[in-house]
Structures are given as C-alpha cells and as structure tokens.
Chain A
C-alpha cells in the first residue's frame, strides 16, 4: 500500500442547506494506516463532510478522489463499493429485524442468512465483538446496537471507516475495547476517521487531527505535536479554559428522598431494584452507570412520567414538609408547587417539539398560565430571545424550527427553558451528549449556577472524567441497583468504573 497517496482526497468541498453553508471549500486528506480525528464544534460541518463521503449527501461543489482516482459518490451504495463505511451517531437499524438481518439488508445476491451468521461470527471473533446475530435490535442496548453498526460496515468490506461520535454511548471499558479494535484496523492498513468531542480520546487514539470551524477547514497536524488546549483553541477560534468548577455546596438540605424505589418496564423487566438515596439542595448528585442501568427510569419516576411498582419519592421543602411524588403526573406535581425541571435524554423526541420554533417550544412549560382561553405568545417569545442572547444560541431567529438547530444549540434551548422556571430540583440526563467543548462548558456552567442558587441537581452523565470533576457525590447504578454512593472529590475513575460493572466494585473482592 502506498502510504504517501492519500486514500481519500477531498478538494474544495462545498455544501449548502438552503441559506446555511455547512461546508465551505473544505480540503481533507485521509490516509491508510492512520486514525484521523475530525474535530470541530457542533454545526462546524464534520458530519456533513463525512456524509458526503459516505454518499448520504452530494456535494454542491468540489471533488473527491479515492486512491488518487476522482470518483463520484451518488449513494451509500457507491460509497460501499469504494470501501467507505460510516457508523452514524443515530443508528440506522430496523428495530424489528435481527442483527444478522440488519447486516445483510440491502445487499445484492441471494439471501443466505445462515452463511451471513457464520461470517458475522467470524468478524466478531476476529475483532472481539460480542453480537448475537439472532437478537432483535429492539432488545439491544445502545452499545450493542453500535456494535451491530460497526459489524455491518465491516461485513460489507469497508476499509475506510468513519465513526461519528462512537464513544458517546459507551462506558470507559467499552470505549477501551472499541479503541483496541480501531487500532487493530489501523494496523491492518485501514483508514479510520473518528468524529469526537472528547479531547482525551483524541489524544489517546488518533495519529492525526483535522479541525473544522464554521464549515471551514482550519488545519491538521500530527496528534503528538499538539495538545488539548491548542486543539480546543483552534476549534473555538479563541482561547478557552478547560477546567470545570466545583464550588463547595452551600447549606445542603435534603430535598428529594428516594426509598426502596422499584420500577418495572411495560414488559415486566426489573429496571430499578430497591433504590434509595437522598439528593440535597445546593449539590450536584452525579449518577453514573452503564447505559440502560435504570438512569432513565429513575429520572422519569421522579418527574412523574414512569409508573412505579413500590417505594417512595419524597419532596422535602425547606421547612421540612414532605410531599409524596409517586402516583402524580407532571401536571399535578407542578400544581403542588414543586418546581421540578427535567432535561431528558431524548431532546427532540421528549424535551422539545422538533417542528415548532423556539418561542413555541418555550411555551411548552408556560402555556397553561393564566385563565385566558388563549395562549400568551409574547412572554415565551421574550424568553426565547433571552435564552438565545444569554446562552449564545446560534439560530437564524426565534421563529426557526428547533430541528434546524445543531445538537448543542438544541440543548441550550432546552436547558435554557428548564432553568428559566427557577426550579428547586433539576434533573438532567446526558446533558452534554453530542455537544462540543464550548457548549459543554456552557452547560456545566449553567448547572453550577443552579447549584449555587440552592437547586438540587441530579446529573446523569456518561463521561466519568466530567462526573468526577463536576459532581459533589456520585451515585453509581449497576443493573438497576445502587452499587454505591461516593464523594465526587477524590473518587478514582477506576473504582467508579468497577462499581458500574459490578455491584459494590472492589468491595466484593
């Protein structure tokens, strides 16, 4: 393999969506035997650029060459024929089909599931994946789904792999495994592109970084010649500090007391098993755990969205009066005067209405106010303008549907609305998932401000490094049970990681 010729050469690539310029004359080289980290803030055009390489979009201008030969990629099939495979941030799997069926879906030739299963097992053995070819997608955890996506791409013989934020949904251990696989692929002479926001991952994994900002190519360099600070500055365009504040809690008082909470899913699967803890005012309680270990159910139970089998959730006011939250829906919880804000994991499917504009989304929380039959549109509009202004939301205006905003801006809109109601309890699930550094720090900042105002914050996170820096205490969930509660100050990443995979962590050994 001639290393000196780039596997992929993208030249002068421009792509516009209506008035938005997503990529502006971008040049990018991807080499075999190398892991390239593509860096950039949300909305900087990383995913768009890679989508053009994988045939999802067609560039308005510019050329793409594979191994020095100019090609035209009109469809994902063209891309596959050229050996390009992309693992998307949002999985493109058919829920009701099995892993094997998803993997062969759309392939030409005779459908031979038996042979396919064998090949899938072969790929899994070669790289150390764990996939049951006959398992239905809807039965899978997020990380299993991602594995299926990767196997799918390998099955089709891809030797140029693009991964769009693959670690966002993985535990540290799963991430390490993935990285090992990616390194193997690199050593095999495959070209690997990884889109990520996490600096320590870039440093740990990649050989070279390329940075985009506002759709433009800023520069690339060998990873060993740079550092997190420099990369961040290039991404953002100005110097930023990479420290998360953790002020000491001021006058913490019990605010939410959960006792013996047990929750089953509709299918009767035990999601939370006898969970007990107390969340204090003025404190951030981090919740760590492998995805799908009951984090979602826990927050939704507190928010009144999840039917509970047994246990109690008490809201404790400053004067010590207790209110039981179980059995109440979000409306009656609000009517009791409990100001509870919830930033759910599924921002556009639950927290916001994707097709509505910013002001109408602000109205979701406030539209009932007043006795009038008609909605008050001025206040939400003003709130939208304030949120855009204060949180630097990048949007053409407050009349833009939120689905047109990039991930980080969507999250700012959601968090902005949720904290606008001056909550006493703030529940957040994966508040920075998919957000770039700058937006993430904005969100940490906002959460810290809420903490300073005496809000009891429950922060479900996936990035242990952040949890260890941000949370005052960390509640570790493992398979729906409380594996332990550790103080955030001084906690070791390794210990918490162990507790995530095994009840009690080291204590049982």
Chain B
C-alpha cells in the first residue's frame, strides 16, 4: 500500500431508503444541531443551554396567547408558501410572494378605507376577497406573460415587482394616513370594524388558520391529483416533452402564476383584514422569501410544508424570546436558526448518498 492509496472514503449514490431510515437521519440531524447550538451558546454567552432551549419553547408555547400567535404566523407563512409552490413545481421561481401579498393587502385596505360603512359588511368582505385575489394575480401575471411570450427571467422580474409593490403601498399610506402627517394608516375602521374578518367565538386567529388549512389540503389535491397539477409537473420537468404531448406551455405558465399570485393576494387579505387591520410596507415581514425555504425544505409537498413552516416560525418565535429573556442580541438567535437549518438541509446529502470508508467498504449494505 505504499505506492497507491485507496481514498479514505468515497461517496456513492444510495437507492431509495425506507421512510423510517430517512426520517431517522433527519431526526439525528436535528439532535446534532441542537447539541452544536448548545455548545456554541455555552461557549459564546456562558448561558445554560437547557435554559435557552426552554426559553425557545416558552416563546412559542409559554402561554395560550403565544401559542395562538405562533399558529397565526404559521398560517400566514404557510399560505404564502402554498402560493408559490405551484410555480416552483413548474420550475418557475416566483420570488415575488412579498409583492403579490402586499398588493393583496393594498387592495384589501383600499376596500376597507374607501367602502367601509358604505356597503353591508358581508358585501365589503366579499369585495375584499375578490379585490385581493385580482391584485395578487395581476402582480404575478405580468412577469408570467413576459416569461411565456419572450422568455424573460421570472426570478429577476418578480423580485423587481416586489419593489414596485412596496413603493405603491408607501404612496397610498401617505394618501390614507391617519392622522395627517403621521406617515402611517393606523388601525382601519377601529370603531365600526367594517371589513374586519369575523372571529370565530373568541378566537381571534382561528378563521385564518382554518382558511389556510383548507387551502393547504386543496393545494395538495390540486398538485397531485388534478390535470392541471400534472401539466405543471410535466412543464417543470421538460418543456419539450410538454410541447410534444400538446400541452400549451405558455398557457400553463400564465395560469399557474395567476394561481400563485391569487393565493398570495389572499394571504395579504388575511393579514390586513384578519389580524393587523392596518397596512404598512413591512407588513409581510419578508414571508415571501421565508416561504421559498419552507417550500424547498418540504420538497414542494404541501403537507410537509405544515411541518417546515412550523419549524421556521417556532425558531423565529423562540429566537425573539431568548433575545428578551437573556438580553442577547436577536442576531444570536439567527445564528442558532442558521445552524439548525444547516444541519437539516445537510442531512439530505446523507439521505441521497452514502459514504464508504476504506475499511468499512463493502460491509455496509
């Protein structure tokens, strides 16, 4: 063995793993991530990692209110993630979730401010829904039409549409500002509550959660069992194959982006009409981008996206909590989130490939 060296290890592709093994690997990744986070917490801040984890958990589930907020955030994030997923399955990278949501929110706020009190509440809410769906859809359709007709890059286009949406919202905030000169809108229709989405019992956030749950199941069925869903998958895999079997690729691109934008619009409506009752340029909290991660982590499967969006919201809520409790910078919490995501995404490598070590070569199955 002096002249030649067998490599210490080599990587080879695995066949399909049984589900329990792949989930075992993912679980192990999370545990490893938590251990690494604990170590870093202790080394860097000197805090007791167990206390830090406890605080993260309390940030999310410490009280009934916190739990509701968690689920509300989860619902909105999941809604945007569901919205961009059909486009993603088509390999059309809609990064305009934020802008489409903002436009939905803007349309909702416009209805509430301009028509509040002039229409019966049910009609107003109906109008809000229609307006937000149209606004979001239009915002997605513009890049889609350009992509279909002239093959422009949808990633850049949708990103740029985000800026336009933000500026539009900023413009209308000045027009509608209350009181004059405040630079913000404040709570819309605070006294009349016109256009506020109804609450179910005393649960302020329940309606949003139910709406998103319905969208989630519907999206799962749409993507996996409908003809449209099948067309989306074929176009995503190979446009040439799609043309070969007579799928009108341009039509599928525009249609799917319309759907994508429409659901983003709904998410904006749920935010403005359902929980915030106001409009700001930062109301989306960049969920349109977080949604990209949710969708990818779940491999574009709407049901898994419930889990991945939960994970992200949970970490985010917990991060805020340790920042307050321990007086740590919020960036520290971001570091922890980053480590955990790194491990989770990294674990996919070990699911798809196996490492053969020099001595163990051949012994592993």
B-side contacts of A353, CB under 8 Å: 233-234, 237-238, 241
Whether A356 lies near B6 (C-beta < 8 A) is no
Whether A72 lies near B7 (C-beta < 8 A) is yes
Interface centre among B15, B244, B248 (most CB of A within 10 A): B244
Looking at the complex, which of B126-134, B199-207, B222-230, B342-350 is the stretch in contact with chain A?
B222-230
A-side contacts of B228, CB under 8 Å: 373
A-side contacts of B241, CB under 8 Å: 349-353, 364
Whether A367 lies near B244 (C-beta < 8 A) is no
Q: How far is the CA of A373 from the CA of B7 in the complex (A)?
A: 54
Q: How far is the CA of A157 from the CA of B245 in the complex (A)?
A: 46
Looking at the complex, which of A15-23, A452-460, A464-472 is the stretch in contact with chain B?
A15-23
Indicate whether A346 sits within 8 Å of B240 (C-beta atoms), given known contacts A61-B361, A368-B227: yes
Distance from B362 Cβ to chain A, minimum over Cβ atoms (Å): 5
Whether A330 lies near B243 (C-beta < 8 A) is yes
Whether A351 lies near B4 (C-beta < 8 A) is no
* Residue A309 at the chain B interface, CB threshold 8 Å: no
Whether B227 lies near A350 (C-beta < 8 A) is no
* Chain A positions 29-76 with a Cβ under 8 Å from a chain B Cβ: 57-58, 60-61, 69-72, 74
Whether B240 lies near A349 (C-beta < 8 A) is yes
* Residue A242 at the chain B interface, CB threshold 8 Å: no
* Chain B positions 1-24 with a Cβ under 8 Å from a chain A Cβ: 3-7, 10, 12-16
A-side contacts of B240, CB under 8 Å: 346, 349-350
Whether A305 lies near B243 (C-beta < 8 A) is yes
Whether B227 lies near A373 (C-beta < 8 A) is yes
A-side contacts of B16, CB under 8 Å: 18
Whether A19 lies near B12 (C-beta < 8 A) is no
* Residue B246 at the chain A interface, CB threshold 8 Å: yes
Whether B226 lies near A329 (C-beta < 8 A) is no
Interface size on A, residues (CB 8 A): 45
A-side contacts of B13, CB under 8 Å: 17-18
Residue of A nearest to B4 (CB): A72
* Residue B356 at the chain A interface, CB threshold 8 Å: yes
Whether A17 lies near B244 (C-beta < 8 A) is no
B-side contacts of A364, CB under 8 Å: 234, 241, 245
Q: How far is the CA of A191 from the CA of B183 in the complex (A)?
A: 80
Whether B243 lies near A58 (C-beta < 8 A) is no
Q: How far is the CA of A344 from the CA of B241 in the complex (A)?
A: 10
Whether B6 lies near A72 (C-beta < 8 A) is yes
Whether A356 lies near B233 (C-beta < 8 A) is yes
Distance from B61 Cβ to chain A, minimum over Cβ atoms (Å): 39
Across the interface, A72 reaches (CB within 8 A) one of B5, B12, B246, B362, namely B5
* Residue A342 at the chain B interface, CB threshold 8 Å: yes
B-side contacts of A244, CB under 8 Å: none
* Chain A positions 361-399 with a Cβ under 8 Å from a chain B Cβ: 363-365, 367-368, 372-375, 377
B-side contacts of A342, CB under 8 Å: 244
Whether B4 lies near A70 (C-beta < 8 A) is yes
Residue of A nearest to B221 (CB): A374
Whether A58 lies near B237 (C-beta < 8 A) is no
Q: How far is the CA of A303 from the CA of B229 in the complex (A)?
A: 25
Whether B227 lies near A58 (C-beta < 8 A) is no
Q: How far is the CA of A364 from the CA of B245 in the complex (A)?
A: 6
Indicate whether A305 sits within 8 Å of B244 (C-beta atoms), given known contacts A60-B362, A349-B238, A367-B230: yes
* Residue A338 at the chain B interface, CB threshold 8 Å: no
* Residue A266 at the chain B interface, CB threshold 8 Å: no
Indicate whether A329 sits within 8 Å of B15 (C-beta atoms), given known contacts A58-B10, A349-B238, A350-B241: no
A residues adjacent to B (C-beta < 8 A): 14, 16-20, 57-58, 60-61, 69-72, 74, 303, 305, 329-334, 342, 344, 346, 349-356, 360, 363-365, 367-368, 372-375, 377
A sample of 24 cross-chain residue pairs with beta-carbon separation below 8 angstroms, ordered by A number, consists of: A16-B12, A17-B13, A69-B3, A71-B4, A72-B5, A72-B6, A74-B10, A303-B244, A330-B244, A331-B246, A332-B246, A349-B238, A350-B241, A353-B233, A356-B237, A365-B245, A367-B231, A373-B227, A374-B225, A374-B226, A374-B227, A375-B227, A375-B229, A377-B225
Given contacts A14-B362, A19-B15, A61-B362, 6 further A-B contacts (CB under 8 A): A18-B14, A70-B4, A305-B244, A367-B227, A373-B228, A374-B226
